[in-house]
Structure formats: structure tokens, C-alpha cells
Structure 1
Amino acid sequence: MSNSENLIKISVLIAARNEEDNIERCLTSLDAVNFPKENLEIIVGDDDSDDRTAELVQNFIKDKPHFKYIKIASQLAELKGKANVLAHLAHHASGDYFLYCDADIAVKPTWISEMRAHFKPKTGVVIGLTRMKHTHLLADLLSMEWLFALSTMRFFSLFKIPITGMGNNMAVTREAYFAIGGFEKIGFSIVEDYTLFIGVVRQGYDFQMAYKPEVLSISEPVNTFPELLKQRKRWMHGVMQSFWVTRLSLFVSSLIVPICLLIAIWYPIDALSSIVQYYVLITGISLLSIILLKQPDLWKAAFLFWFYMVSIGLIMLVNYYLPSKTVWKGREY
């Protein structure tokens, strides 16, 4: 690491609410990063947790001065939830770069240095990579979904077409964050990562995609289908607010198979051939993703991913339009 990089000050910002099952894993991984501790601060914002999150964090950091714990007890600019926590943490942070990860994430030792390396003079935001912990088939399909989406984002980023941010693995410059007025100016959104990302891009800053295994973080997966539906209800708000390319991709991937099956009533060979070609295309992209990102344990999920994708896309659309509230971290929005 060069002398100039040793002077860089990094702030890692973590919003935590009722994360007693995950927070120690996250903090342990952050404590192991290969970045000078004297140039690093890791700030955990406790969003009114009513479990053992506060106790676990404070016990972990008591002999680690580069960690800070902050209890979030007030509201900024009518913000709620994670957006409010991150807005508070930005004012406590002293770094030139703000790196974001979730409390259920484990980062690699190379995460900070590799994310920092993607910042160029005009770059305001860098998007990293995330997959799920290898625990069961649903987790592997979710990992494949993340890597497929991130690979698609990588493709569009080569043409400077912004898609979305990823709040569990993202970085912004301090300059860019405060240039857009922070979360206070952006306003509340249940998909705060998208609003931050798009706000920085619309301010005229460049964005980069850190598409390499060294920045790939590991998240805890949802373990049941009802949990997945709750998660996707929130995510769909972000999709529907995003660029037309993202919205179009969702509708096409969700409806193309039902449409082909209807066409097959009159033209069976052509329609079924299209479905087979679609499967080959999606599976090919999936396999390429796990090869480029060196995730060989997902090869079985790559061959099954198409079936999952065409099903979950349709389910997400139906679930989004159903008249129900969005529940996130025990709160209704």
C-alpha cells in the first residue's frame, strides 16, 4: 500500500436494528480488513434495537478504538428507519469516503482497499458485490439472483447507464454525499440505497462498478418464502422508482414465459423454441457470472436459476400490487 493511500481516511457506516444474530460476524470481518486502523473508523448506529444488539456491539468494540457505537435517539428531517440512521452517522463520520455495509454482511479483508481503488477523480459512488452464505438451495438461488443482477448492472455500467445502488456494499465520497445534501435533502425512501446512488449520479458525479471477487461480501439469506416476500415487497419500491431499463427488464423477465405459453396455443414450435433459447441465454449469463467472479459452488444453482427467475419475477409483481403494507425490520411503511 502506497504512502498516499495510507493517508486516506475511511468511514464504514452500519445501520443496525435487532441484529443480535448477525452483528458479531459483521464486526469480526470488518476488524480483519487489511487497511491501516489509524486511517479507519467503523461506526455502528443502533436504530432503537430491543434485543442484545447494543450489548454485543459495545462488548466487541471496548478495546478497539477504531470502532464507535452510537444510539440513534432522534429523527432528522422526517427521515425514518435506515435512512435516518445513516444520515446521523454521516455527521459523526470524519472520513473522506463513506463505505456502507449491512449488519448481516461479512466483508473480505480486501474489501476497503479494493473499493477505494475504484474511485477516480470524478467518481462519486462505487457499487460492490454481494452474495448469500452457502447454506441451502434457496440461499444459492438468491446468490445467483444477486450475481445475475450485478452482472447486468456491470454490463450497463460499461455504457455509463446507471441502474441502482446496493446499500449492503456501496461507497460514496464525502464530497458527493454532502454535495447532494445527504439523506436530509434526498428525503425518506424505503430504498435509501437507490435514492442515494441516483442522487449522486444526477449531481454530475461518475459511478463505478467494482466487479471483482475481492469486493464480494457474504450476506445472511432469508430462510423462508414468507420472509422472501416481505423483502421483495420493499425491493419492488426501488425497482419502480428506478430507470426505465430496470423496470422494463423486470416486466420482460416476469411476463415473457406466460406470453410465450399463450402464443404456443397457436404456434407451438416457435413459442417453445423461444422459451428454450431464453433458458440458454439466462443460464449462459449465470455460468459466465460465477466463472468471472470465481464462485464455483453455485454451478448447480446456475442451471436451476432460470426456473426461479421466471417464477419469482411474476410473484414479485403480483405481491407488489396487492394492497398490503411494506414491513421492514418490524416496522410498517
Structure 2
Amino acid sequence: MEGFLTGYFTLWFLVLATSTLLFWVRRRPAPAPLAAPLPPVSILIAARNEEAAIARCLAAIRQLSYPPELVEVLLGDDASTDQTRAVAEQAMQGYKGRFRCLTITETLGSARGKANVLAHLARVATSEFFFITDADIAVPAGWIQALLPFARPEVGTVTGLTVVHGPRLFDRLQGLDWLQSLGLVQVVSDLGRPVTAMGNNMLVTRAAYEATGGYEQLPFSVTEDFELFRAVLARGFTFRNVYRPEALAFSLPIGTPRRLLHQRRRWLRGVEALPWWLQSGLIFYAMFYPLLLVLAWVAGPLAALSVLGIKIALQGLLAYGCYRRAGLRMPWHLLPAFELYTVALTLGLAVFRLLPVSFDWKGRLYQ
């Protein structure tokens, strides 16, 4: 048993150290200048009961440095029961670009929920570039210029960078979780292996979207961004991930641990559709804490604490690289609390996954 544990933790640390090194040393070329004349773009936002968040989202849209006369903003009101539409229309009064708010009542093909809203918006969009974000996201001023240069004819999706931002400890732990996870995704993506796209900060070209038949032709999924990403790749397009400060958007945090579990349960649907080698890697990664308990029982608490200390140090180096590349300040003091957060979230999600209960997202239940 001791030999097995030694081999596991040695390999675990080797993988993490290699990932950290690759993230630090990989040189990613700066985007080429945008060609003149600048093209028009469409921004697609699905909103359901977002009266508390939509004004912040649209205020960020209004601050974009891209010429507003080249921007159309399409907001899909997904059967909201609050004042989402009224708040949105008030927030966009006087906007120099084009703004439309569509009330979504019909279903297109197999699309449901957010996918159905985006299917409707894509049908009325007039440009060749669909910039997709969420109602709880504030995009940066240079968002369009950060993603658009990567949208070459062979590139179907371009994914930006998103971090959770909020004042509470719970909020900041979510931010550290997001940024570090996206750093690991970037490492794999830099090696040319597709992982996923992120539908709150994503560019999809019209050519790639229409090649899939649109959301109305895709199998329904609660992780609609991942389903579209897979379909775009299957049609022969490639992808780009942009881990740069100018592509960094800020998400509102999930308010409670219960809501966080529902969010992650939804994301787990996408994880369950990943290639076997990625799923195997995630299982290998997640076995750390169960085997750490075994190590404490076999070799004693001091050995387990030593291994945990090495983990915190290596993850800290990766996190520092992630924050540095995103143009943010590294919160070193969060690292011990982040271990407790990770354990609690992993255990909670494992139990939630096994229970025969539905999960709630935007007021709708999914199995």
C-alpha cells in the first residue's frame, strides 16, 4: 500500500508541476491588428429573471471601445416573471448602437432554455460574428478587439477568460477556483487538445454556427456551450482560448453553497461528455483527498500533512501564474481556505450526483 501511495502522489505532483511549468513558459502570440474596415458584430445575451443583474451587464456593453455603430445587442427575454425586460430597456436608452429585446415564447427544434433563446437570437443577428455572454457577466471594454482577431476562417470558436468577483470569502474562493481551472484548461488547449468553450465569454462565427445547423438542430444539453463547441469541431473548425487581461470578464458570484452545487451539477453534465482520457485525468486528480486519508492512516498524520503542504505550494505557483497572466493580484492568503472549499465542494457534489433528485437552474428543473 505504501508503494502505491508513493507512486500515486509522486505522479500527481509531477503532473501538476508539469502543468504549472507549461503554463508559465508557454509563449502565446499577441493577436494581429484588426483589418480595416472593422466588421459589424452581434452580441447575444439570454436572460431569465435577471432584473438584479442585467443593468450591470448592459452598462459594460455600453462601455465597449468598439465603434457602437458596428454593434448590435440582442437580448432574449426567456419568459421572465420579473422586470428583466423593463430594466434592460431602461439601461439601453440612448445607446448609439442597435439594441433589440426579444421576448422568447416559441421553441425551435430540439432547443430548450438558454439554447432556445440563443437559437432565436442567432436567427435575427445580422453580422458574421456572434459574441455570446450572460446576464450576470460584465465584459471588459476591449472585449471585441480581444477576441475578434483570433476568428480566422478556420477558427469556429474563440473563448475568453472569466473570473468570479465579489467581496465575500465565498465569492473569492469561487474566483480562485475558476481562474485556476481555466489555467489547466489553457494548458491542455495549448497542446492542441480541445476541452470546452465557455458560453459566458465566447465568440462563434456565423459560418461555424450555421454549419452545425444551429441550436435547434443540436441535441439538447444543459451545457449548451459545450454541445455547440463539440459540434463546431466535428464540422472541421478549430478553436482558440484567449487567456489575456483584455479578454477578462467578471461574473457575479453564486450566492449560497446550495446554488453552487446546482451550478456544478449542471457543469458535470458537460464533464460526463468529455473524452475518456480527460475524464480519467479528472478522476485521477479527484482521488487526492481520499488517498490522503489513507496515507494518514498508513503512514501517520505528519506524512499526510507534508503531502498536503506540497500540494498547496504547487497549486499556489499555478494560481500565481493564472492571476499574473490575467492581470490580477494573487490572493495568497486564500490558499488554506481553498483546500477546505475544494474538499467540501467535491464531497457535496459527489453526494448530489448520486441522489435521485433534479437540479434547478434559472427556475427550471433538470434530471
Q: CA deviation at 1:237?
A: 1.1
Tell me if 1:27 matches 2:58: yes
Deviations 1:264-305 (A, max 9, x none): 322336555433322222222112211221211633334533
Kept in 1: contact 2:264–2:349 (CA 8 A):
yes
Q: CA deviation at 1:232?
A: 1.5
Kept in 2: contact 1:17–1:49 (CA 8 A):
yes
Structure 2, gaps ≥5 residues long? 1-31
Kept in 2: contact 1:325–1:332 (CA 8 A):
yes
Corresponding letter in the other structure for 1:9: P
Kept in 2: contact 1:127–1:210 (CA 8 A):
yes
Deviations 1:67-116 (A, max 9, x none): 11111110001321101000111101111111111001111101111111
| 1:98 aligned partner | 130
Corresponding letter in the other structure for 1:140: R
Q: CA deviation at 1:31?
A: 0.9
| 1:4 aligned partner | 35
* Change in CA separation of 1:135 and 1:159 when aligned onto 2, cut-off 3 Å: same
| 1:300 aligned partner | 333
Q: CA deviation at 1:314?
A: 3.0
Kept in 2: contact 1:14–1:43 (CA 8 A):
yes
| 1:277 aligned partner | 310
Aligned match for 2:232, one of 195, 200, 223 = 200
In terms of mean alpha carbon deviation, does 281-290 or 163-172 score higher? 281-290
| 1:46 aligned partner | 77
Q: CA deviation at 1:241?
A: 1.4
**Paired residues for 1:1-333 under 5 Å:** 4-64=35-95, 65-268=97-300, 271-296=304-329, 298-302=331-335, 304-333=337-366
Q: Secondary structure at the match of 2:134?
A: coil
Corresponding letter in the other structure for 2:186: R
Aligned residues: 333
Q: Secondary structure at the match of 1:30?
A: helix
In terms of mean alpha carbon deviation, does 221-230 or 26-35 score higher? 221-230
Kept in 2: contact 1:286–1:302 (CA 8 A):
no
Q: Secondary structure at the match of 1:181?
A: coil
Kept in 1: contact 2:166–2:252 (CA 8 A):
no
Corresponding letter in the other structure for 1:295: L
| 2:15 aligned partner | none
TM-score, structure 1 normalization = 0.94
Q: CA deviation at 1:129?
A: 0.7
Kept in 2: contact 1:15–1:85 (CA 8 A):
yes
Kept in 2: contact 1:107–1:218 (CA 8 A):
yes
Return the alpha-carbon distance in structure 1 between the equivalents of residues 114 and 189 of structure 2. 26
* Larger radius of gyration between Structure 1 and Structure 2: 2
* Change in CA separation of 1:155 and 1:177 when aligned onto 2, cut-off 3 Å: same
Kept in 1: contact 2:60–2:138 (CA 8 A):
yes
Q: CA deviation at 1:133?
A: 1.9
Corresponding letter in the other structure for 1:24: A
Q: Secondary structure at the match of 1:4?
A: coil
Q: Secondary structure at the match of 1:332?
A: strand
Return the alpha-carbon distance in structure 1 between the equivalents of residues 133 and 183 of structure 2. 19
In terms of mean alpha carbon deviation, does 238-247 or 117-126 score higher? 238-247
Return the alpha-carbon distance in structure 1 between the equivalents of residues 335 and 150 of structure 2. 28
* Change in CA separation of 1:263 and 1:331 when aligned onto 2, cut-off 3 Å: same
* Change in CA separation of 1:322 and 1:3 when aligned onto 2, cut-off 3 Å: closer
* Change in CA separation of 1:309 and 1:248 when aligned onto 2, cut-off 3 Å: farther
Return the alpha-carbon distance in structure 1 between the equivalents of residues 269 and 150 of structure 2. 29
Structure 1, gaps ≥5 residues long? none
Kept in 2: contact 1:124–1:172 (CA 8 A):
yes
